[in-house]
Amino acid sequence: GDLGDAERAVYEKVSHANAEELGALVRPGDIVLLHDPQTAGLVPAMKAARAITVWRSHIGSDVTNDLVDRSWAFVRRYLEEADAYVFSRAAYVPAWADDDVYLIAPSVDPFSAKNAEMPQPTVRAVLAHIGLIQGNGEHRTAFTRRDGSPGRVDHCADIIRAGPAPKAEVPLVVQVSRWDRLKDMPGVMAGFVEHACAGTDAHLALVGPNVTGVTDDPEGAEVLDECLEAWRALPHAARTRVQLVCLPMSDVEENAAMVNAIQRHAAVVVQKSLAEGFGLTVAEAMWKARPIVASAVGGIQDQVVDGEHGLLLADPADLAGFGVAVRRLVCEPDFAAGLGERARQRAIEQFLGNRHLLQYVELFADLVRR
């Protein structure tokens, strides 16, 4: 919709309240790192507090159009005072940004609950507990929390499917994302059913958060309903091979452990996004040596070399191409494993937190020296 005076009034009202709360914690000379458009309105207040202020954008568009221009016009007045700007890729830098621009791709934390090593018996135990696959008697669902304390997966997922859960041996194709139209979950479902099912026994799991547990995604429930409607329209035989999975969000680290297990179990991880700033789930899958099929959009193009670390779709709307790529990875496990191993090596070299941290250290050092 439009970003007019009424929308600006709401934005500035919320920004002012947040600025007062944050301002009480900030001292002159502090470095404040603000993330994404939601925080742009805090830049003037942080500069008034004499803090070194950096604004980091995790999103962007490869092409400029009226929507992009209007969005930048809305936030530009707040951002112009920032000391530096951080973007994931050069294509996302607006024309008005000055020389204080740094390109820093996001990364994954290999020690977090979402990415820590997880033994296969635990993977299967977690998935059986949440209801995604049939159990084989495994019961250990333990994981380690960020503070080092033990955690356990206790909650179950809300799952929509026809028939019983697949056996653990059945190849599972997985997309993990928000219920967001740009993630094209219905397209993933259609491409899988129409072009990947034949000749394989693979199942598909579309995995997202419980929509009641995500406060900053008001369209999530609508998109989930659209996916449910599309699922109901499938032939019965196809419905038995597609699951819609909503993971609980009451315990963020428990949710992360569930995602970890799901990704590690997947025969193929897909990310058929229509747009993507940086494919965080792609980087997570690469770290876990999973074969990937993804759209060649946004930051994914910087992460995956087609045919070397995964298979890329030149056109995200190409459902037949998507299905053929998925079927190839399911039917050629040696080829898929090779892609996964090379993807893991690339993740180690480029997408772990040590590289990310060093780049931020260089950025902050530059700013302090001024």
The residue type found at 4 is G
Handedness of CA 68, 69, 74, 77 (dihedral sign): positive
pLDDT at residue number 299:
92
5-107+354-369 and 120-351, same CATH topology: yes
DSSP 101-112: EEE----B-TTS
pLDDT at residue number 216:
66
pLDDT at residue number 193:
98
Q: Using one digit for the tens of pLDDT, what is the confidence trace for 82-134? A: 999 999 999 999 988 878 999 999 999 999 999 999 999 999 999 999 999 99
DSSP 313-365: ESSTT-HHHHHHHHHHHHH-HHHHHHHHHHHHHHHHHHSBHHHHHHHHHHHHH
In 3D space, the residue among 59, 326, 89, 309 whose CA is nearest the CA of residue 180 turns out to be 59
Domain ranges in the chain are 5-107+354-369, 120-351
* Dist. CA 254–CA 251, nearest whole Å: 5
The residue ranges of the chain whose pLDDT is under 50 are none
In 3D space, the residue among 104, 35, 83 whose CA is nearest the CA of residue 354 turns out to be 104
| Superfamily per CATH, domain 120-351 | Glycogen Phosphorylase B; (3.40.50.2000)
- Asked whether the beta carbons of 69 and 282 are under 8 A apart, the reply is no
Q: Using one digit for the tens of pLDDT, what is the confidence trace for 332-363? A: 999 999 999 999 999 999 999 999 999 999 99
CATH topology for 5-107+354-369 is Rossmann fold (3.40.50)
